[in-house]
Structure 1
Amino acid sequence: MRRSILARISTWAIRIVILWLAFTFLWVLAYRWINPPVTSLMIRDWVAGQTVRREWRSLDALSPNLAYAAIAAEDQNFCRHTGFDFEAISKAIESNRSGHRLRGGSTISQQVAKNAFLWSGRSWVRKALEAYFTVLIELTWPKQRVLEVYLNIAEWGIGVYGAEAASQYYYGHSAARLSRAQAAAMASILPAPLRWSPHKLPHGVARKARSVQRWIPFIQREMSGCLHLS
């Protein structure tokens, strides 16, 4: 009798796992073509009564300056890795152990996994799920789609989501018209968009923005075989 109950539990557990794997795979696959309608951060803002600004734009409708600036600032190995930049992770761990300013090693793909499918937090469960969704994204999406979704769901200020809404909010014009300096400033605030503004960058962030601006043409040449931006 006891063995029969255990067998039934095991059977149902296996079915649930299979169903969950199938659901998450189809969910990620659908987002290859369907734009994510909402993120956990947007829901957080709505619940708090905050107005959410968001306007989706295809990657071709955004300034290439911003695409390359985001890669320069957040993930310089974007086209070379398969979701995880182990070199960046190693450097982040070493920096954090040595007592320097905390830094992350997340790739753009990992940030898309977190923002599009999960919630913010530092629990091991959330990190494990982030790794799982990152693998699915890299298996089913081209790099251009990864970058497009990232630029359209990234938080860029209080209630400001996506490159178009951010460009309109900070500069009063479309993200298609962002200059290198504007794109570099916007990309540089991504780690802390609720504390920083492109118009008033702290000294260290301003230095990073200048570096990102210089890197844009190099990233453009290096990524030409991976990304096809007009």
Structure 2
Amino acid sequence: MINLKQQPVSPLNQSGFTIIESLVAIIVVAVLLAAISPVIVLSVATRVQARRVELATDAAKSYIDGVRSGTLAAPPSISTDISQYSAPTTTGSLACNHNSYCSLPSTDLFCIAANGASCVNTNAKDLVIQAFRYNSTSSDVNSGYTLGLRIYRADAFKSGITLKASNNGTRQQQTFTGGSGLSSSQSPLVEVTTEISNSSTTFDNFCQRLKNSSNPKAGC
């Protein structure tokens, strides 16, 4: 006769998360998300700002190439040093087509439209270049000149906004800005100065323009 041995009954498995443990886990995850969210927002905003500066730099290079090659007309001549030239004023109106000078608010502004049509002051992707040239001895383009550029976002030309420039302490927007990661539209994205000459510019033109006038021994 076979004797059957009774097997001991295994206790029920009580392992697992309790409601309290689950709530604690949810709270920990929420705290972590709250802690890293500002970092994510700042990172995205800084990348957007860096992209704006990159596009503004490309726009400045294209404009300079156009002026040097004669494809674009030289900007208006000014009677003061470029570092003292005022930032453009905003009237709430912006009338300019892509790749051409504006008629409003001033003719020293040049439009780079994102859509290839026209610049509007409601589009942060459109760029407006303030262009000006200075030669202390002549206003003739063929004599050569120093070209100054400030590149602003088109949405900075809304009514009531006061634009800034290097002559009032603000040189340009920075790629990394801290805070929200985005700079005020009042400041130019980029400021550039360069020397422009053409085949008609002579050595004497350079000498007269660049010599140290305060030095009595300086001559050409």
TM-score (norm 1): 0.28
Structure having greater relative contact order (Cα 8 Å, sep ≥ 6): 1
Greater helix share, 1 or 2?
1
Select the structure that is richer in strand: 2
**TM-score (ref. length: structure 2):** 0.29
Structure with larger Rg:
2
